């Protein structure tokens, strides 16, 4: 007998996962991964891959880390099936975070879970696996929570790469603003990877002004108070703008059907 969650979002997610796991996108992913030395042994089914990357708690931690890192590496290269399995791997932890934090944020469990899932998808896309190859699941969850609720890791707050201050748009270049040049940051490190996601969001049509709050918090490392002073608004307004920006990125970058609504 299968477990039926009380949450509407979790029930929909469970049903969508089961349907996806038996569908053509998952089958195509398994065929691709059969040539990957870290994934090949587990490609009998998507469930086997999921178990190997840590959903099976008896899997050796180092091996599970390596399998999840391989999936994330593929997800960063555009393999959406790999990203979907990585996201499913994180669902128990994301569910726990939503349950613990929803009351403090004054939102429903379902609402916060959707927000965390969308943030996790973005984090999976930009996770610097070469620099942070261990404790991958824990790091992904922590980064997803940070993106959703505003925590900025100290290592990022102490990093202020040159050339990231929002720039005025040159003539003929509409509102590039915060994403003026990906080359300004380079591709290495969590800050640079977040910047790359903001570039993707801008390319997908999200206005630069909407993304700027995430650049202030996550790229420049400002606190919410500092970001509020910079923009001349309240800290609550910064939190609202952050939530709107995360929602916009989720809508632009998360595949249709990946987040139950």
Q: What is the pLDDT of residues 39-97, one digit of tens each?
A: 999 999 999 999 999 999 999 999 999 999 999 999 988 898 999 999 999 999 999 99
Rounded Cα gap, residues 81 and 227, in angstroms: 36
Which spans in the chain are helix H? 8-21, 24-33, 46-50, 61-76, 80-105, 109-126, 136-149, 154-157, 189-203, 208-214, 224-231, 235-253
Low-confidence residues in the chain, pLDDT < 50: 1-3, 152-188, 259-261
Torsion angle of C-alpha atoms 205, 208, 209, 215, degrees rounded to 10: 120
pLDDT number for residue 150: 60
pLDDT number for residue 160: 37
Residue 198's nearest CA partner among 144, 248, 124, 141 is: 248
DSSP 35: T
pLDDT number for residue 29: 96
pLDDT number for residue 260: 38
| Assessment of whether the complete model's pTM goes beyond 0.75 | no
Sign of CA dihedral 135, 141, 142, 143: positive
pLDDT number for residue 259: 43
Q: How many CA atoms lie within 13 A of 49 on its CB side?
A: 31
pLDDT number for residue 43: 95
């Amino acid at each position: 007998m299968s477990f039926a969650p009380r949450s509407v979002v979790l029930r929909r997610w469970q049903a969508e996962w089961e349907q996806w796991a038996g569908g053509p996108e998952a089958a195509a992913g398994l065929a691709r991964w059969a040539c990957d030395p870290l994934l090949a042994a587990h490609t009998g089914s998507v469930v086997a891959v999921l178990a190997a990357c840590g959903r099976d708690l008896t899997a050796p931690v180092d091996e599970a880390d390596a399998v999840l890192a391989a999936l994330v590496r593929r997800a960063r290269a555009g393999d959406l099936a790999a990203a979907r399995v990585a996201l499913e791997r994180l669902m128990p932890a994301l569910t726990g975070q939503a349950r613990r934090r929803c009351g403090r944020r004054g939102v429903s469990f379902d609402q916060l879970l959707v927000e965390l899932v969308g943030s996790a998808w973005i984090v999976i896309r930009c996770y610097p696996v070469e620099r942070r190859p261990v404790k991958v699941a824990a790091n992904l969850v922590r980064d997803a929570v940070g993106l959703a609720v505003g925590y900025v890791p100290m290592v990022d707050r102490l990093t202020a790469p040159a050339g990231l201050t929002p720039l005025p748009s040159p003539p003929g270049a509409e509102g590039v603003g915060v994403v003026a040049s990906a080359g300004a940051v380079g591709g290495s490190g969590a800050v640079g990877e977040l910047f790359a996601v903001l570039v993707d969001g801008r390319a997908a049509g999200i206005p630069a002004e909407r993304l700027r709050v995430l650049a202030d918090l996550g790229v420049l490392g400002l606190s919410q108070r500092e970001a509020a002073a910079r923009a001349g608004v309240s800290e609550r307004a910064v939190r609202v703008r952050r939530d709107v920006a995360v929602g916009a990125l989720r809508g632009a970058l998360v595949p249709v059907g990946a987040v139950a609504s």
